[in-house]
Amino acid sequence: MSQQCAPLPLNSQSLEDLETANLRNQIKSQQKLVTAIERRVGRSLTSIQTHLTQLNQLLHDSSEWQINIASMAAELHQLGDLLADATLLQKIEAGKVSVQLEILDLRLLLDCVSRHLLAPKDQTPRLICKFPAVLPFIIADRDLIEEVLADLLGRSLKYSDPDSMIILDVACCESQVVISITAQRFVALGERDYAPEIALCCKRVEVQNGEVTCQMGLDGSTQVTIKLAIADSRSTCS
């Protein structure tokens, strides 16, 4: 009579240690993010208070009033964007955002997010697209990846100097497609706290089994790179 092989019991202590380590890493990431958001909110509130004080002191100077009103409105807009990003990030972390992976035509996706930027009304185009003649299909969530690309392109155009160019580049690396956006800035001039924006961008890509990296160039520009799975490993960029 042959003896059946019984499955080896899992080491519960090892699993518990692994889960504990993962939780600690998540907590550290959350603490860094919260600290960054607190700094950003604090600076915005201080700036808004400064503009309010100046408004009270410049009751008879309409031109200065307009300048301070515009500056305060910009601060409130940025603060609203920050809070919206933080809220969405928490929803993703809690699994409240559904992810529907599907096979997408990368060419159509990139055309969708870049078409209006290549021919803006009453403006000189600032976006340069470097695409291979043939692009593969990818596996991603259509809404999430469109949001990520549109957000990054929008930020780069908004915060970079008006005469600077934005480069949208695509290449293939083995079983992944690599989408890179290079710009002078993705946040306001003088603002080097990327934590909330990059954390949200990373999380929206990670839930699609993708990767995000961010690095500074020697010329001071910033490049955000997104890697996503190619639907058919036999297809490549050409």
pLDDT tens for 69-94 read: 777 777 777 777 777 777 777 777 77
Handedness of CA 100, 198, 85, 27 (dihedral sign): positive
Tokens of 170: 């695509």
Rg of the chain over Cα atoms, rounded to whole angstroms, equals 23
- Considering the domain boundaries, does residue 62 fall inside one? yes
On the question of pLDDT at 189 being above 90, the answer is no
- Considering the domain boundaries, does residue 205 fall inside one? yes
- Considering the domain boundaries, does residue 119 fall inside one? yes
Question: Any idea which residue has 């969530």 for tokens?
Answer: 141
The half-sphere exposure of 114 on its side-chain side, counting CA atoms within 13 A, is 22
- Considering the domain boundaries, does residue 69 fall inside one? yes
Q: Judge if 106 and 204 occupy the same domain.
A: yes
The tally of domains found in the chain comes to 2
Sheet bearing 127-130, strands edge to edge? 127-130, 166-173, 176-183, 222-229, 211-216
CA distance 110 to 223: 17
Q: Judge if 161 and 178 occupy the same domain.
A: yes
Residue type, 123: Q
Over pLDDT 70: what percentage of the chain? 77
Q: How sure is the predictor about 230, in pLDDT bands with cuts at 50, 70 and 90?
A: very high
- Considering the domain boundaries, does residue 203 fall inside one? yes
- Considering the domain boundaries, does residue 6 fall inside one? no
- Residue 137, domain CATH: 3.30.565.10
Whether 128 and 109 have beta carbons less than 8 Å apart is answered as no
Tokens of 176: 């992944």
On the question of pLDDT at 201 being above 60, the answer is yes
- Considering the domain boundaries, does residue 211 fall inside one? yes
CA distance 89 to 199: 8
CA distance 21 to 15: 10
Whether 215 and 223 have beta carbons less than 8 Å apart is answered as yes
pTM (two decimals): 0.70
Weakest-pLDDT range from 54-68, 93-107, 209-223: 54-68
Residue 194, domain extent? 102-229
Q: Judge if 57 and 154 occupy the same domain.
A: no
Q: What are the tens digits of pLDDT across the range 110-151?
A: 999 998 888 777 778 899 999 998 899 999 999 999 999 998
Q: Judge if 117 and 170 occupy the same domain.
A: yes
On the question of pLDDT at 216 being above 80, the answer is yes
Q: Judge if 167 and 70 occupy the same domain.
A: no
